[in-house]
Amino acid sequence: MSEPFLTVTDLHAGYGAARVLQGLSFTVDKGDVCAILGPNGAGKTTLLRALSGMVRTDGAIRLDGAAIAGRKPEAIARRGVAHVPEGRGTFAPLTVEENLRLGAYPRRDRPGVEADLARVFGFFPVLREKRREAAGALSGGQQQMLAIGRALMLRPRLLLLDEPSLGLAPLVTQELFHLIGTINEQERITVLVVEQNAHLALGISSHAHVLEAGRIVLSGTASEVQADAKVVQSYLGYRV
């Protein structure tokens, strides 16, 4: 049997003396959407940072058979890991198109970059309309689309999304999650999505893990986690 696309084994990470991740182990199969749920401070953001090389880690991370733990963020990005951070990280004074082109920075294949710009505009037509406008002038939902679009310009194999719904109106969030589902299906990109809105995240995910104080306390298929609503509620403080 072939190895899972992403294998995380006994992963520890933290900031100086603050130990946040306390030995996480899980796998994600190629093309799956995996949700990481959990209350504030559980370590969800730290997990994404660990996967993209932004915090020091102990333990093993294998991506498509290659060990990536301890590598620099640029090296991990070159292996196809694109991270859309909480708060989006787009450059407000730059135009939409400039932001998208920045996402392709590690790539050398110019014709491919042009094709991918068209591909991103296909997913997010509003970004084509606003391509010459400053990113800072976009609505919150459009800025999140831009952040995801910029990540797609890397032609990622693994997309890490940190709280895409943060600060967005419910309808905008629904549209965004629908688009994330479409991108996953059409591009066969493996997605790891951290979300407070468990219901929305489970709606597009095949599997989910609930984190609490740096440990996985519940894992399963999205429907198993959904069915375990009582447990989820006790960890998340609300129903899914």
Q: What is the dihedral of CA 229, 234, 237, 240, to 10 degrees?
A: -10
Smallest gap from Cβ 123 to ligand ATP, in A, equals 26
CB of 206 to ligand ATP, least distance (A): 21
**Token pair for 17:** 């003396």
Min dist. Cβ of residue 223 to ligand ATP (A): 23
Beta strands in the chain (DSSP E): 6-15, 18-28, 33-37, 57-63, 66-67, 81-84, 158-162, 190-194, 207-212, 215-221
| Residue 197 binds ligand ATP, judged by CB under 6 A | no
Q: Determine how β-strand 66-67 pairs with β-strand 57-63.
A: antiparallel
Is-contact 55 95, C-beta < 8 A? no
Kindly state the number of chain residues that form the binding site for ligand ATP, as judged by CB under 6 A. 11
Q: How many C-beta neighbours within 10 Å does residue 98 have?
A: 16
Q: Which amino acid is at 26?
A: F
**Distance between CA atoms of 192 and 180, rounded to whole angstroms?**
11
Site for ligand ATP in 132-161 (CB under 6 A): none
Nearest distance from C-beta of residue 176 to ligand ATP, angstroms: 18
Q: How many CB atoms lie within 10 A of CB 91?
A: 14
**Residue 83 beta carbon to ligand ATP: minimum distance, rounded to whole angstroms:** 13
Per-residue tokens: 111: 């014709």
Contact 145, 124 (CB under 8 A): yes
Residues 7-26 that bind ligand ATP (CB under 6 A): 15, 18, 20
2 counts as binding ligand ATP under rule CB under 6 A:
no
Distance (Å, whole) CA 84 – CA 213: 23
Among 4, 8, 44, 147, binds ligand ATP (CB under 6 A): 44
Q: Which two tokens stand for residue 88?
A: 């989006």
Least separation in angstroms between residue 69's CB and ligand ATP is 17
14 or 149: whose CB is closer to ligand ATP?
14
Nearer to ligand ATP, 38 or 149 (CB): 38
Interface characters, 24-43, with ligand ATP (x: CB under 6 A): --------------x-xxxx
Nearer to ligand ATP, 4 or 214 (CB): 214
**Least distance (Å) from ligand ATP to the CB of residue 124?**
25
Chain positions contacting ligand ATP, by CB under 6 A? 15, 18, 20, 38, 40-46
